[in-house]
Structure 1
């Protein structure tokens, strides 16, 4: 979609699309009878011996291995009941149980004709001893009252009931075989369940239970690193030093969710020497726009070499450790890429688009084991909250690959919450383990590149617009965690063995290296420049642009786990200009839970050729670290209605004919109405490629139901388009159940209408028809950035 235009023929991207809002009516609830894979009596027969075993095991559990006044029990759902609307609220309420989390699992999705293995989850709930006995009685004896029968009806959703399984709690297998030494003492990360929840919000563990945990660690000869105990989303993260041979004893502690080796900070790329030919200083070191800032957390900037005035930026030493030359080289190269983008020896540096501040966090202080990751994360959180940076580049993180049954991770959870609360965009390097063992899952993106509210960047072997291009072999791959499955979101040039990345030094000379560490800051630079070119910007807008204008490879569906949505642009300047046969329109708005919003699609009144419609939706979502399978709490759904008069007509009962889509004002439609046929309340929708309505919940999730970034492409024929509109709806969940509390979600929707035949001047026709749309103009200043509404950066 890029094109070269003179000033006289520029056709800037159009903004203010939210002004095309329409009044729409919520459709009537649909859906038929649901197939039930088991009856209540069958479930009772299956679950009775299980709940008896759980009760007996709970009674034998010594006080030092349990919470002060409750137990943690898990219930495996049949995959047929994953949707939040099937959450067993009445059953849990009847026994006084409180949901505190979930785990990923596998089960059998059963229909009338088949049974297939599918993703499911295990509900984790806190329940008193008396509540556990009541659950046993209810399952064994059945209901006596109407409310008990309503609670009992939900046991058919359950396949298993058990106390936490040691195989789920103890993740010692995450150690490589060569590092599993029985008497080795190492730092472990222990994550404890919330105590309970209030109004759907998890409450951290009580002090009495936490003391029992600390005492148990001491009894096993271990040590709690109390200065690094952290609470995130109701979970309590407690780093402990312990001999490997003692971890199985700790795994018996009932409130313990997971115990795993503490991951180390990722290793840095190796550097080689390159030409000493230098980068010239920029025309001006004063940023184009000064009221939105970028932060880089890394190894610092080697100001001792600063003889070229390339790094006249604030630098902060947050670590008391002396600088390491390797860390300085890495940090300087990353910061240089954020400031200037992809540059080469002999170039002149461009003017930086935004102010950049460098924070030296490596080497971390001399603390036990691998606790440096906790220390670094604390510094990132403190500085971002204090300084109000809107874009943060992270070319560092733990050495921990995402798994399908990923347990809560402090890095991802903290940063996603920070991104949601403060509208901060984290641009994260995906990791450099893409060539590792795929069977073991070591090739997948590394935390926090699994963020749902950030941008994970992998590496490719050539910069845009060069072709051909492909994923760099080392670039870590997807899929990501639930709610952010398309990871990395895209790829950027990061260098390869045959074509290294030019790593800028402070004196203007270059080293050479390769890694996603350098791909991420190139995208950060492009987004910083984009901020200066749009009148209205927030993190959702930036994520939408990154995805919408990514260059898709051939066979994109097959390659999505390798390159996400494609190769990201080095710069958005030309992409913001439309060719005559296309129009890009940006919609920026908020939606409240339960709302249904409609927007007219900016399109000419009449078409003479097929048009391609490209739509990207990006939004920020609250996250729930206790629910890895329900991690994102918000789902925004798009529906495309291309023709305002095209309705579905359903035959009257007893007529064996198929439904038809017809013009409601046409002769055939009027005849069907007279024959008793019923038209749909709203115009027909055009499939956007997601799973069909009525599909298994697992399929709906894989198709993007809870993803915070979506991209769709459809082709429309001239005769199926008239006053087309998009509808946006919002459902929410809390603790895995549907949430009815009012929450407002900011979103960005980027829509492109393209006539590839060249027969229609789309842009001018849209400008003439929709005068409310305005060409994007480069901002000279933007008011109220720090302390402003978190929805917008202006």
Structure 2
């Protein structure tokens, strides 16, 4: 067979030069409310009265500063940020301190429609008990011309949170144990912890308070207490959630290891491809003088117990996967792309000491707050499937950190895929629900006809963050295990398996892109490229996205950075101001393209998060409108060309209700593929609008939002598409040439 030496069509960069600011006028018509003011007042008066009596019965110590927390459920037609009931809160003298998604059947819907069960928002508000007592006495006499009258109509239900409802999961009947307590408290409210301790003492509850973490409006606190007093602990008005402290995921590989007969394992002799890429792995450690220390710095944190054999074995396996991927015994080991800092964060066997969970998070957070890495890998975390109505300490702390740094994190989704799906025990595990990280699951083969490995935890994630895992990669299976360097002193191979090894394999691909392109591609562009170039798998499967996320990562670096002659792939790395619109042109040839054309687009951005408002978790949203043809207008007075759907309707796993609520506007990774007739694409573009919210309310932040977008056009009927586009847009976009020589493929 003759080998055709083709020219290398590199990925095109500087797509942001194809963008312009534009003005679009918005605004909907007036809203028809489900209730009249009179109906709302009549419905809510007895609820406020009952709520006031309930909180008045609480012991004084349970209400620090004589303040209590009450719950207000929003009518589902009023969940958009523009309907936030500000005036009502001010009028009554209460402030919203958190919220959570909640299913409800409203008593009425507007326009006479039949009520059905839908998701809405439950707000937690804090105020003085006297203010709520006043409200309950005065509400029956409120008039419809009051400033907060409209806001009253938006409330479906008002109640006092019941202690038992705050307890998550099942607790043993008796005995002292480590409990995880989530308090409504920001970092400025450290006194809340002291008030909680005083309350426990006043109730004769012997409790020890341990590590605590603050994340936005929440305080995560470790508590050692008698479990039979759980209801009394939860009576404290500042408690949002109480559960048994989860254990660390036991890092047992899912596939039994077997040594592979190797004559002598030959490790590469050169240093890494790039000395500039900074990578950190947080895991079980690497033994002293191990062969991998040629590319790996062993970093020990202060005050730790000695390493255990099992953890070292896991640490070496994860590091091996980050350096070499799954090792093919038939070919020489590839040269690593980057050096690795391996932080040992595990010492004692998990499960024996539940207090370790917060200690480990403290170690990771300590490193990340003191230095910035390009990439990090976490193949560990709590043994806890995610929940829709609560964000865990690990997720809250890591997402907050990742929103502020230029770091791409890979997090394994866990090996709970064979858990009970009715109870949600097979869902991705904390902290892989971070929206500012890539959650990685495992598939069962590196070859063709792949699918999710049975052990790999499934989606969906929370909304926003529905598509979790983001990606999958080979993680090993019983019949085909994952091959890594063994932990022994003499270089040899061993087999293993689990999402723990799929995550660093994806990290390796990311470091390869960074090593070759340097700072020309930032971490957001690399995240976007990894999603953009994935293989979608068997699309017949309706539940596909819950199994494999967007798909399996590309097989090689070439698949990501090189284009065929009939394809262009353009990277946009830009910024957009709040409430502004930009128009991003999609580069196509001047002459209409023949035949069918496939357009694929992916957009990612980092966002600050509100863990105390899980249903409104992301503070930033991008609304993207596709305009395929700049000469098509439906109406005479229309300012902008006709739009066509691109991302919204294709959000996988989204229910009708979520699409109706436009939940996808707040997803910080969007990816879709559309096929269009080439002749219908005339100067196509995406209009991108930046929406911002804070704790579910309208908000205009002072700073711009960084985003990365990758758009591909594939036209079988245009054999020289790449060359045509490069020539036509020569002054704007340009091929991204590697800062290093690309290795010649043999």
Q: TM-score, normalised by structure 1?
A: 0.87
Contact 2:260–2:495, Cα closer than 8 Å, also in 1: no
Contact 2:328–2:483, Cα closer than 8 Å, also in 1: yes
Contact 2:598–2:676, Cα closer than 8 Å, also in 1: yes
Bigger CA drift: 769-778 or 343-352? 343-352
**1:498 maps to what in 2?**
479
Q: Compute the displacement of 1:700 (Å).
A: 4.5
**2:744 maps to what in 1?**
none
Q: Compute the displacement of 1:73 (Å).
A: 1.2
Q: Compute the displacement of 1:108 (Å).
A: 3.0
Contact 2:411–2:437, Cα closer than 8 Å, also in 1: yes
Q: 1:527 aligns with which of 510, 514, 539?
A: 510
Q: Compute the displacement of 1:556 (Å).
A: 5.4
Output the CA distance in 1 between the equivalents of 2:164 and 2:407.
37
**2:84 maps to what in 1?**
87
In the TM superposition, 1:48-67 aligns within 5 A as 48-67=45-64
Output the CA distance in 2 between the equivalents of 1:692 and 1:440.
27
Output the CA distance in 2 between the equivalents of 1:73 and 1:727.
41
Contact 2:164–2:231, Cα closer than 8 Å, also in 1: no
Q: 1:769 aligns with which of 696, 708, 728?
A: 728
**2:609 maps to what in 1?**
623
Does residue 185 of structure 1 match 2:185? no
**2:628 maps to what in 1?**
642
Q: Compute the displacement of 1:701 (Å).
A: 5.4
Q: Compute the displacement of 1:605 (Å).
A: 1.4
In the TM superposition, 1:392-407 aligns within 5 A as 392-405=376-389, 407=390
Does residue 485 of structure 1 match 2:470? no
2:116 partner SS: strand
Q: Compute the displacement of 1:283 (Å).
A: 4.0
**2:578 maps to what in 1?**
593
Contact 1:51–1:162, Cα closer than 8 Å, also in 2: yes
Contact 1:77–1:123, Cα closer than 8 Å, also in 2: yes
Output the CA distance in 2 between the equivalents of 1:717 and 1:344.
42
Does residue 715 of structure 1 match 2:675? yes
**1:604 maps to what in 2?**
589
**1:47 maps to what in 2?**
44
Q: Compute the displacement of 1:516 (Å).
A: 0.3
2:39 partner SS: helix
**In 2 relative to 1, CA 220–452 (structure 1 residues): closer, same or farther, beyond 3 Å?**
farther
**1:139 maps to what in 2?**
139
Q: Compute the displacement of 1:205 (Å).
A: 2.7
Cα deviation code 1:574-599 (max 9, x no counterpart): 33111111100000011121111111
Bigger CA drift: 16-25 or 553-562? 553-562
Does residue 690 of structure 1 match 2:648? yes
1:274 partner SS: coil
Output the CA distance in 2 between the equivalents of 1:419 and 1:7.
42
In the TM superposition, 1:401-550 aligns within 5 A as 401-405=385-389, 407-463=390-446, 466-506=447-487, 507-534=490-517, 535-550=519-534
1:443 partner SS: coil
**1:575 maps to what in 2?**
560
**In 2 relative to 1, CA 624–703 (structure 1 residues): closer, same or farther, beyond 3 Å?**
closer
Output the CA distance in 2 between the equivalents of 1:279 and 1:617.
42
Contact 1:184–1:243, Cα closer than 8 Å, also in 2: yes
Q: 1:224 aligns with which of 204, 208, 222?
A: 208
Does residue 19 of structure 1 match 2:10? no
Output the CA distance in 2 between the equivalents of 1:594 and 1:570.
39
Q: Compute the displacement of 1:487 (Å).
A: 0.3
Cα deviation code 1:177-232 (max 9, x no counterpart): xxx432222100111102xxxxxxx564351x432311233444432334x12222
Does residue 115 of structure 1 match 2:112? no
**In 2 relative to 1, CA 351–778 (structure 1 residues): closer, same or farther, beyond 3 Å?**
same
Q: Compute the displacement of 1:349 (Å).
A: 2.2
Output the CA distance in 1 between the equivalents of 2:505 and 2:87.
51
1:91 partner SS: helix
Name structure 2 gaps, 5 residues minimum: 742-746
**2:266 maps to what in 1?**
280
**In 2 relative to 1, CA 736–129 (structure 1 residues): closer, same or farther, beyond 3 Å?**
same
1:328 partner SS: helix
**In 2 relative to 1, CA 524–692 (structure 1 residues): closer, same or farther, beyond 3 Å?**
closer
Q: Compute the displacement of 1:645 (Å).
A: 1.9
Contact 1:80–1:696, Cα closer than 8 Å, also in 2: no
Output the CA distance in 2 between the equivalents of 1:365 and 1:496.
25
**In 2 relative to 1, CA 489–359 (structure 1 residues): closer, same or farther, beyond 3 Å?**
same
Contact 2:388–2:614, Cα closer than 8 Å, also in 1: no
Q: Compute the displacement of 1:702 (Å).
A: 7.0
**1:336 maps to what in 2?**
320
Q: Compute the displacement of 1:367 (Å).
A: 11
Contact 1:691–1:700, Cα closer than 8 Å, also in 2: no
**1:652 maps to what in 2?**
none
Cα deviation code 1:278-321 (max 9, x no counterpart): 5421141x2222222110111111235x2x46644211122621
Cα deviation code 1:604-655 (max 9, x no counterpart): 1121222111000000000011111111110011111111121121xxxxxx
**2:684 maps to what in 1?**
724
**In 2 relative to 1, CA 715–11 (structure 1 residues): closer, same or farther, beyond 3 Å?**
same
Bigger CA drift: 338-347 or 154-163? 338-347
Output the CA distance in 2 between the equivalents of 1:17 and 1:333.
39
**1:384 maps to what in 2?**
368
**1:151 maps to what in 2?**
148
Contact 1:434–1:476, Cα closer than 8 Å, also in 2: yes
**In 2 relative to 1, CA 358–735 (structure 1 residues): closer, same or farther, beyond 3 Å?**
same
Output the CA distance in 2 between the equivalents of 1:692 and 1:455.
20
Q: TM-score, normalised by structure 2?
A: 0.93
**2:701 maps to what in 1?**
741
Does residue 358 of structure 1 match 2:349? no
Q: Compute the displacement of 1:564 (Å).
A: 0.3
Output the CA distance in 2 between the equivalents of 1:748 and 1:5.
36
Contact 1:588–1:747, Cα closer than 8 Å, also in 2: yes
In the TM superposition, 1:87-106 aligns within 5 A as 87-106=84-103
Name structure 1 gaps, 5 residues minimum: 195-201, 650-677, 782-794
Output the CA distance in 1 between the equivalents of 2:206 and 2:496.
41
Cα deviation code 1:240-298 (max 9, x no counterpart): 111221111111111111111111110112442221415421141x2222222110111
Output the CA distance in 2 between the equivalents of 1:637 and 1:612.
22
Cα deviation code 1:535-586 (max 9, x no counterpart): 5232321221121111112225421011000111243223311111110000
Cα deviation code 1:706-760 (max 9, x no counterpart): 11100021222234221111111111111211112323211100000011x3344
Output the CA distance in 2 between the equivalents of 1:217 and 1:460.
48
Output the CA distance in 1 between the equivalents of 2:525 and 2:357.
30
2:380 partner SS: coil
Contact 1:182–1:243, Cα closer than 8 Å, also in 2: no
After superposition, the CA RMSD in angstroms is 2.3
1:728 partner SS: strand
Does residue 163 of structure 1 match 2:122? no
Does residue 375 of structure 1 match 2:366? no
1:533 partner SS: helix
Q: Compute the displacement of 1:409 (Å).
A: 1.0
